[in-house]
Every structure is written in C-alpha cells, then in structure tokens.
Structure 1
Amino acid sequence: MVVAMALQASPAQASSVNAVRLGFVAGSSPPGKCRLGFARNSQQQQRGAGSLVVRAAILEAPGVGVERVDMSDFVKKAMPGGIAAQDLLGTGRRKRAIARVCLVEGTGQYVINNRTAQEYLQGNPLWLFHVKLPLRSLGFEGKYDTIVKAHGGGLSGQAQAIRLGISRCLLKINESHRQPLRKLGFLTRDPRKVERKKAGKHKARKSPQYSKR
C-alpha cells in the first residue's frame, strides 16, 4: 500500500522542520512508515511568505502480502517420528523465547511452527538475517532444512533463539564448527531479560512522584 498526499501549511508552523517519520497503522496490517517532506520555492524563501507544501508518502510495511502456506505435511515427511526422534536437535533461548531446532538434509528451507520463515517473521529482514546467518557463515545454507518449534516472547527474541539453536545443531554435525561459530558469537547465550516490576514502584525501578505536601 502506497499513499501520497499534499497539505498546505504556513512557513511559521513548519519552517524549522526538515523531515519527520511517523508510524502508520491501517486495519490489521503491520505498521509502516510515513515520511513527510517540506519544500518551498526560492522566491518564497526570499520573501519569507507564502504557503509551504507538505508531501507525505506511506511506504509498504515489510511482510505485507506474504501468502500463508501450511507446511505441516512437509514437516511430517522430513521428521518421521516427530522432532524428539531426530539426531540433530538444538535448543536456543533468548529473553522469554524458547526455540527447539532440528536440521535435516534438504534444500535450505526454513520452517517455523509449520509456516515458512518469511511469513512467520513477517518478512522482517533483520529477523530473517538472524535465522539464516549460522548456516550461511559455514556454507551449509543449501544443504539442510531447518525445522523449528518456537514459543514464548516476541518474534525478535524467537529469531535470536533460533540462531542459537541452529548453532548448537551445527556442533553435533562436526565439533570443528565450534571455533568459527564462537568467533561470530553464535554460541553465546544472551542472558539479558526485562527486570521484573517491584512492589510499590511503577516499573522495575521507577518510583512514584515525590510530593512534599
């Protein structure tokens, strides 16, 4: 979805603004970006008067238009006996997200909770980059299919948990993979979590406003 619009504003209202980025939500679609640009011709700049033309374009958000594909039949054929019966298993955790990862010989497909990674991660390039990087760094991107069962947390935490799970699976293939994966930091469990809220405080550490009288 691309929307363009033009507005009129006085120079006094927006003369000091060059560009603004806003969030945009349309129905149930993921948030996109709205970019506003301000322009004024040279004669108006010299006189310091006239109207200011504001142009905005709402860009299509990542993941919009990704078709939903049920990969349950593919998962059953790739993993006879279920995920617990497989040899190349690895568990990754990040924040509150937990991902159980299984590698099977294949053509390089990524399946997360019986859905394609492109659809499950909403086409976000950063999250997809996290998931694909371990296999890509060792040159195994087209040799294994990655099947994941993830739950808890958000998509960002799940993507990083999947990266750790894939890295641990690669160690079971060959122990010599430990050194390159360790250098890239893929075997390090990130322990950072949101600090819990405390009683008598608004958040973890934010206290109520002090009032002297």
Structure 2
Amino acid sequence: MVVAMALQASPTQASSVNAVRLGFVAGSSPPGKCRLGLARNRQRGAGSLVVRAAILEAPGVGVERVDMSDFVKEAMPGGIAAQDLLGTGRRKRAIARVCLVEGTGQYVINNRTAQEYLQGNPLWLFHVKLPLRSLGFEGKYDTIVKAHGGGLSGQAQAIRLGISRCLLKINESHRQPLRKLGFLTRDPRKVERKKAGKHKARKSPQYSKR
C-alpha cells in the first residue's frame, strides 16, 4: 500500500488543517516505511507550513520463504571448505565466505534466497549480482554464501568482494576488468572506536569557561 498525505496550515491558523489529501493504491501489502518531510515556504513575507508524508511498501514484503539447505548440500558435497572456487569478502564487521558452483545463476545466502535474505532491497541485490553480471557469467554459476556479522548492507558488499575473488580463481585475466570497476578493493572504512573522556569517537563534552 502506498499512502501519500499532504497537510497545509496557514500562519494565522497553525493549529487547524486546511487541506488533507490521501491517495491509496489498492491490492498491495501493509505499509512498512514512512518518510516525513517538513518544509516551510516563505513567500512575500507570509509563511505557510507544508507537511508531506509518504508511506511506502516495505522492501521484501510478500517474498516467499524458501529453505535452500537441500540445494546447498547437493551443490557442495563436503561443505563449503572443500570447494575450489572459494573467496572471502569483508566489509565493516561483516564477513562473507562465497563459493561459486556451475549452475543457472541462483544466489543462496545462509540457506535462503538472496531476494528473501536481503529483504528485496534493490541496492543490496545490485551489489551482490554486479561482479558476475559485469563479466557475463550471471547464468553460468550459482553463488552460495555463508555470511555473518554486521548488517545486511555490509554483508552485501562483503559478498561482492568474495565473488570477485572467486572469479580470479576461474581466470586470472578477470583481474583487470574487476580492478577497473573497483570490485577487488577491500573498503577499509569502519566505525571509529569511542575514546575515553569523549561522548563518541571525537565528540567532546561541552566546554565551560567557569
């Protein structure tokens, strides 16, 4: 369900609502995320308060849950450690062990489909699928991942690095195009640790002269 709402209040009657407009798109799931924007419009010395809210459908709503454990056991006899095309990717606190096996282009993360595990988020799915897609191998290999630590965003980028390292084991000539796209660079950025005597990593207590 997508709900769009606009509230407009004049400066003289700030407590009253002059206009409310609601729009519904029928036949969809309950809303998940709400984005609220507040803007003050000043024109010719008279201000008006405009509030706009949009409730968008949550990513991954309606994604069917599928247990892929049988598929993983069949595709990787002996477990993930016994495979040849194995690569490890890291991002922030996330670690992903990636295995490529010949197949039809399926993505399995922690015994679940990538669509379900990444909650249908298009950006995270884009990160995961980009290395194989850039080399034209999207329908030739199945990707099986064991990921832990961090959040889904960090895990998705860790998977991208792990897949890229697996592709190097297939053919060393893949290094140049992957390096050019930046897929072989481990992103070193992390949250800076809190310091003693400070509120956060660098935020200091308010200074008082007296």
Cα gap change, 1:157 to 1:212, in 2 (>3 Å)? same
Q: Is the 8 A contact 1:22 1:33 kept in 2?
A: no
Written as runs of structure 1 = structure 2, the 5 A alignment for 1:5-84 is 5=5, 7=7, 9-10=9-10, 32-34=32-34, 56-84=53-81
- Separation in structure 2 between the aligned mates of residue 29 and residue 92 of structure 1, nearest angstrom: 35
Match of 1:118 in 2: 115
Q: CA deviation at 1:91?
A: 0.3
Measured after TM superposition, the shift of residue 185 of structure 1 is 0.6
For the structure 1 residues 26 and 82, does the alpha-carbon distance in structure 2 shift closer, same or farther, using more than 3 Å as the test?
Answer: farther
Q: Which moved more, 1:89-98 or 1:23-32?
A: 23-32
Asked if 1:177 corresponds to 2:174, the answer is yes
Q: Give 1:59 deviation, angstroms.
A: 1.8
Q: Per the alignment, do residues 97 and 49 of structure 1 end up closer, same or farther by CA in structure 2, a change over 3 Å counting?
A: closer
Give 1:13 deviation, angstroms. 7.1
Deviates more, 1:54-63 or 1:199-208: 54-63
1:35 is paired with a residue of what secondary structure?
Answer: strand
In 2, the alpha carbon distance for the partners of 1:209 and 1:22 equals 45
Q: In 2, Cα distance between the equivalents of 1:185 and 1:159?
A: 15
Q: Deviations over 1:130-156 (max 9, x none)?
A: 100000000000000000000011111
Cα separation, 2, equivalents of 1:125 and 1:144? 21
Q: 1:55: how far off?
A: 6.5
- Within the candidate set 197, 202, 208, 2:205 is matched to 208
Deviation at 1:61, TM superposition (A): 2.2
For 2:21 and 2:117, how far apart are their aligned partners in 1? 26
TM-score (norm: length of structure 2)? 0.81
- Judged with a 3 Å threshold, the aligned counterparts in structure 2 of structure 1 residues 174 and 60 are, in CA distance, closer, same or farther, namely same
Report the RMSD for the aligned CA atoms in angstroms: 5.5
Question: Is there any run of 5+ residues in structure 2 with no aligned partner, and where?
Answer: none
Q: 1:186 aligns with which of 183, 187, 190?
A: 183
The Cα shift of 1:64 comes to 1.6
Please give the alpha-carbon distance, in whole angstroms, between the structure 1 residues aligned to 2:61 and 2:38: 28
| Shift in Å, 1:9 | 2.7
After superposition, the Cα gap between the structure-2 partners of 1:204 and 1:56, relative to the gap in structure 1 and judged at 3 Å, is closer
With normalisation by structure 1, the TM-score equals: 0.80
Higher fraction of helix: 1
Contact 1:71 1:111 (C-alpha < 8 Å) held by counterparts:
yes
More strand by percentage = 2
How far is the alpha carbon of 1:15 from its aligned partner?
Answer: 14
The Cα of 1:67 is off from its aligned counterpart by 1.7
Shift of 1:28: 17
Q: Provide, for residues 96-153 of structure 1, a one-character-per-residue CA deviation record: whole Å limited to 9, x for no partner.
A: 1100000000000000000111111111111111100000000000000000000011
